[in-house]
């Protein structure tokens, strides 16, 4: 049931409040200092928000030109703290007494204590530059405790129209038709570990699986945007939950019908500590989904700086991702294959770049950080010769290193490197990861895996080593250096054990961004045409990269990579997981439609595209289109749904723009043949008729 706010009633209430003040013996207050009979309310810049004087609950939130009220009369926060005897003790607004007041056009909600503990919590809400902003500060004066987590702001019992969709920045963008259903039907496998009878939670963290620090509920003409506009780049949870009716326990999925959205942060405030954050914004906006991109990019422009990408990278249609020697010692390719069959396979589909894995003696995911010269193939001399011959034919070589893993059997680890630079857990022990590649038997995959510890990117010793690897790649004659797993905040961060409670490092994404910037500055000073790439997509790290290798699927039903491509069109990044001849036309078309490069990883990097004839034939057609219009489809600006209209909603169309020209890519994802008209202002309309998974590129020149 929708919750609406009657604007005429709002004006009447304001008048009543004015009358109440004027009829008292106290001197009248300035209009901006007035509070309502039961609520503190802000009305500014066509937005409004109000809070209950009694409970501190959020009572209203919306736009003055719309009668829709998003707020659900619920508390704005939750807090979790630890004692020596118990972890994660929850405090909710129901256990605390607020003092709500207004000063100027800001609402203040203050708590002098929380649930009998000497915790102070101070919240404020104000409207600035078309955004409803939320700030918080707290202090911990309770001995032998730590405030671990503050969930704020929370919009509980969130009211949204039935047609709104959930837009996240997972893998650059995903969109779901029914937000409540999606969140309530999260993957049930981890629910054994959670209190799933109380709520369901869709897990998103920035900068990890969320590529940007925002999400939204989007309609065709308006929506509600949530942004954490925080230049500290600390790890932040995008809080998306559903709850059953108040005071009840959920027994079935359909019981979880009350939506909640907000942000979760990690103060880790011990006795005597203070903490604050004023970076959360919520925007009831007008427009389609592209409005959320403009809101986020407007803020990102205050800190995001992406340098020019070499022209050869812009013209790169993708890369063949190939493992030369695998983890367990098998040679899948030899150096001599690079200018031979590997080059020919790429040439057959219009792709001249190779991302070379496992080129060192130990093999893929083995021996890090040694990268020992493979003397069995002729050593560095043979590798340099193969690269030169490959490049002389027109190839581009992207050289792989893993940016964060340290093999516990490596010389570096055994000599003490692990204890010096590896991340430690909350007991002081090293975190480990296990990589289980298999051959054709079962022993490798289930028993005989490699074990790695994880490098701390804040350590000078490790950063120096990464820079040296870039020099080695340049010495080999490569065109680019690629660092795996540096594009994202750490899943296993370092813990500080120096105080009463262990504390996790929440700035690992920032460290990786700083590391990539340092590498970029180093290589560009030597050779501006030499390129830098990494794996995982996030805005904080991609700003320093010439290309990015995505980590997950980009052609799922919910995939919406056009969000990130539209928001950050400067970033060149790939698809992933097209590994065979399965569902090829739709997935390869998707890369052209969404502005992605092709990651060619046949048989999980163990094969070549000449072994998958369907993939080979279709990608050749797509790349022929790219090469026909490179100024638009490779070097143009990805403009998504801007600049044109399509008469048939059964067709899917996206645009690229360069100067006064626009290319509209159109495909038919339906089972039936469909036609439509593409119209660009100032140009003659063009008609198109397409069968299932057929694709067309229509080019318009505007005066």
Q: Which helix (H) or strand (E) holds 364?
A: none
- Among the three residues 576, 599, 628, which one is the final residue of a domain in this structure? 628
Nearest-angstrom CA–CA distance, 16 and 43 = 16
pLDDT for position 194: 87
CB within 8 A of 521, min separation 6: which ones? Answer: none
- 105 is a domain residue: yes
Nearest-angstrom CA–CA distance, 224 and 241 = 16
Read off the pLDDT of residues 357-395 as tens digits, 9 standing for 90 and up. Answer: 999 999 999 999 999 999 999 999 999 999 999 999 999
Mean pLDDT of 195-216: 96
Task: Please say whether the beta carbons of 584 and 574 come within 8 A.
Answer: no
How would you class 493 by CB atoms within 10 Å of its CB: exposed for 0-12, middle for 13-18, buried for 19 or more?
A: buried
529 shares a domain with 388: yes
Q: Determine how β-strand 396-402 pairs with β-strand 480-484.
A: parallel
The Cβ of residue 51 has, within 10 Å, a number of other Cβ atoms equal to: 28
Of the candidates 180, 172, 254, the one whose C-alpha atom is nearest the C-alpha of residue 217 is 180
Task: Please say whether the beta carbons of 576 and 552 come within 8 A.
Answer: yes
533 shares a domain with 651: no
Greatest extent of the chain over all pairs of C-alpha atoms, in Å: 96
pLDDT for position 446: 86
Predicted confidence (pLDDT) at residue 1 exceeds the cutoff of 80: no
- Among the three residues 578, 608, 628, which one is the final residue of a domain in this structure? 628
- 68 is a domain residue: yes
CATH number of the domain encompassing residue 329: 3.20.20.80
33 shares a domain with 126: yes
Residue 477 gets the label, from left (phi > 0), alpha (psi -120 to 50) or beta, of: left
Q: How confident is the model at residue 188 (pLDDT cuts 50, 70, 90)?
A: low
What stretches of 164-204 show up as alpha helix (H) in DSSP? 179-184
Q: Which helix (H) or strand (E) holds 446?
A: helix 443-446
Nearest-angstrom CA–CA distance, 632 and 626 = 8
pLDDT for position 13: 35
Task: Please say whether the beta carbons of 48 and 57 come within 8 A.
Answer: no
Range of the domain at 618: 311-403+461-497+508-628
- 319 is a domain residue: yes
21 shares a domain with 144: yes
Q: Domains in the chain: how many in total?
A: 3
- 174 is a domain residue: yes
Predicted confidence (pLDDT) at residue 574 exceeds the cutoff of 60: yes
Q: How many CA atoms within 13 Å lie on the side-chain side of 149?
A: 17
Predicted confidence (pLDDT) at residue 7 exceeds the cutoff of 50: no
Task: Please say whether the beta carbons of 50 and 42 come within 8 A.
Answer: yes
- Among the three residues 628, 660, 676, which one is the final residue of a domain in this structure? 628
659 shares a domain with 559: no
Nearest-angstrom CA–CA distance, 703 and 697 = 20
Q: How many separate helices (H) and strands (E) can be counted in the chain? A: 16, 39
608 shares a domain with 647: no
Task: Please give the mean pLDDT across all residues of the chain.
Answer: 93
Mean pLDDT of 171-195: 89
Predicted confidence (pLDDT) at residue 17 exceeds the cutoff of 60: no
Give percent helix, percent strand, percent coil of the chain, each to the nearest 5.
25, 30, 45
pLDDT for position 183: 96
Q: Which tokens go with 259? A: 């939506």
321 shares a domain with 286: no
Task: Please say whether the beta carbons of 106 and 21 come within 8 A.
Answer: no
Nearest-angstrom CA–CA distance, 488 and 494 = 15
Nearest-angstrom CA–CA distance, 230 and 234 = 8
- 442 is a domain residue: no
CATH number of the domain encompassing residue 161: 2.70.98
Nearest-angstrom CA–CA distance, 618 and 347 = 14
Mean pLDDT of 42-55: 97
Predicted confidence (pLDDT) at residue 101 exceeds the cutoff of 70: yes
- Residue environment code for 602-640, b if the CB has 16+ CB neighbours within 10 A, otherwise e: beebbbbbbebeebbebbeebbebbeebeebbbebbbbb
How much of the chain, in percent, has pLDDT values that exceed 70?
A: 94
680 shares a domain with 553: no
- 659 is a domain residue: yes
Mean pLDDT of 563-575: 98
Read off the pLDDT of residues 284-343 as tens digits, 9 standing for 90 and up. Answer: 999 999 999 999 999 999 999 999 999 999 999 999 999 999 999 999 999 999 999 999
CATH number of the domain encompassing residue 688: 2.60.40
358 shares a domain with 238: no
Mean pLDDT of 92-105: 96
Cα 613 to chain centroid distance, Å, stands at 34
Sign of CA dihedral 94, 96, 101, 102: negative
Q: Which tokens go with 574? A: 């790939």
pLDDT for position 621: 98
Q: Which residue has the tokens 């829709």?
A: 68
pLDDT for position 37: 64
pLDDT for position 189: 67
674 shares a domain with 581: no
pLDDT for position 439: 86
Mean pLDDT of 547-571: 96
- 440 is a domain residue: no
In this prediction the pTM is: 0.93
- 612 is a domain residue: yes
**pLDDT, greater one: 554 or 29:** 554
The Cβ of residue 696 has, within 10 Å, a number of other Cβ atoms equal to: 17
Give the phi and the psi of residue 93 in degrees, each rounded to 5: -55, -25
Does 419 sit behind a cis peptide bond, omega within 30 degrees of 0 on the bond before it? no
Read off the pLDDT of residues 608-644 as tens digits, 9 standing for 90 and up. Answer: 999 999 999 999 999 999 999 999 999 999 999 999 9
Nearest-angstrom CA–CA distance, 353 and 342 = 10
CB within 8 A of 402, min separation 6: which ones? Answer: 365, 368, 369, 483, 484, 485
Q: How confident is the model at residue 31 (pLDDT cuts 50, 70, 90)?
A: very low
Mean pLDDT of 251-274: 97
Mean pLDDT of 648-659: 97
Helix axes 584-594, 613-628, angle to 10 degrees: 20
150 shares a domain with 28: yes
130 shares a domain with 32: yes
């Amino acid at each position: 049931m929708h919750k609406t706010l009657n604007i005429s009633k709002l004006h009447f209430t304001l008048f009543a409040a004015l009358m109440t003040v004027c009829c008292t013996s106290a001197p009248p207050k300035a209009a901006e200092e007035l509070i309502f009979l039961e609520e503190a309310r802000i009305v500014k810049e066509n937005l409004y928000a109000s809070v209950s004087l009694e409970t501190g609950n959020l009572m209203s939130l919306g736009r003055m030109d719309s009668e829709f009220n998003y707020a659900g009369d619920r508390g704005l926060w939750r807090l979790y703290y630890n004692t020596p005897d118990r972890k994660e003790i929850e405090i909710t607004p129901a256990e605390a007494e607020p003092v709500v007041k207004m000063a100027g056009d800001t609402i203040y909600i203050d708590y002098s204590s929380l649930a009998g503990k000497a915790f102070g919590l101070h919240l404020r809400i104000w409207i600035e530059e078309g955004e409803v902003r939320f700030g918080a500060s707290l202090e911990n004066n309770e001995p032998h405790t730590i405030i671990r987590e503050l969930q704020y702001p929370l919009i509980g019992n969130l009211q949204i129209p039935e047609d709104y969709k959930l837009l996240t920045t997972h893998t650059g963008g995903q969109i779901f038709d029914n937000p409540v259903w999606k969140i309530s039907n999260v993957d049930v496998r981890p629910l054994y570990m959670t209190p799933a009878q109380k709520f369901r939670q869709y897990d998103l963290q920035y900068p990890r699986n969320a590529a940007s620090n925002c999400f939204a509920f989007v309609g065709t003409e308006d929506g509600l945007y949530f942004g954490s506009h925080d230049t500290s780049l600390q790890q932040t949870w995008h809080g998306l939950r559903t709850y059953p009716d108040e005071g009840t326990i959920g027994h079935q999925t359909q019981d979880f019908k009350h939506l909640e959205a907000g942000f979760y942060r990690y103060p880790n405030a011990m006795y005597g500590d203070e903490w604050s954050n004023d970076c959360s914004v919520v925007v009831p906006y007008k427009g389609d989904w592209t409005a959320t991109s403009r809101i986020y990019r407007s803020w990102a422009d205050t800190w995001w700086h992406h340098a020019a990408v070499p022209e050869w990278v812009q013209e790169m249609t993708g890369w063949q991702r190939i493992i030369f020697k695998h983890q367990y010692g098998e040679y899948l390719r030899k150096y001599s294959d690079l200018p031979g069959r590997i080059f020919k396979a790429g040439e057959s589909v219009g792709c001249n770049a190779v991302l070379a894995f496992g080129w060192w003696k130990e093999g893929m995911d083995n021996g890090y950080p040694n990268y020992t010269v493979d003397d069995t193939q002729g050593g560095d001399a043979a590798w340099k010769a193969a690269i030169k011959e490959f490049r002389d034919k027109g190839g581009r070589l992207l050289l792989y290193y893993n940016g964060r893993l340290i093999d516990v059997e490596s010389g570096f680890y055994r000599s003490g490197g692990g204890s010096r630079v590896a991340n430690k857990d909350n007991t002081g022990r090293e975190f480990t990861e296990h990589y289980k590649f298999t051959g054709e038997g079962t022993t490798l995959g289930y028993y005989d895996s490699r074990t790695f510890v994880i490098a701390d990117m804040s350590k000078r010793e490790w950063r120096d080593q990464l820079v040296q690897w870039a020099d080695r790649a340049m010495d080999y004659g490569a065109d680019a250096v690629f660092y795996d797993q540096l594009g994202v905040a750490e899943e296993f961060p370092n813990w500080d054990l120096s105080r009463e409670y262990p504390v996790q490092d929440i700035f690992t994404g920032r460290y990786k961004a700083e590391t990539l910037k340092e590498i970029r500055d180093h290589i560009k000073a030597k050779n501006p045409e030499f390129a830098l790439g990494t794996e995982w997509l996030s805005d904080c790290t991609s700003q320093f990269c010439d290309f990015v290798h995505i980590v997950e699927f980009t052609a799922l039903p919910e995939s919406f990579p056009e969000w990130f491509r539209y928001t950050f069109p400067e970033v060149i990044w790939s698809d992933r997981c097209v590994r065979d001849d399965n569902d090829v036309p739709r997935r390869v078309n998707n890369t052209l439609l969404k502005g992605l490069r092709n990651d060619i990883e046949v048989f999980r990097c163990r094969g070549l595209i000449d072994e998958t004839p369907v993939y080979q034939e279709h990608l050749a057609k797509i790349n022929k289109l790219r090469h026909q219009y490179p100024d638009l489809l490779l070097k143009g600006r990805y403009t998504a749904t801007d600049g044109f209209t399509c008469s048939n909603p059964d067709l899917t169309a996206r645009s690229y723009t360069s100067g006064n020209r626009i290319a509209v890519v159109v495909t038919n994802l339906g089972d039936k043949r469909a036609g439509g008209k593409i119209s660009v202002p100032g140009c003659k309309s063009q008609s198109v008729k397409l069968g299932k998974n057929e694709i067309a590129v229509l080019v318009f020149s505007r005066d």
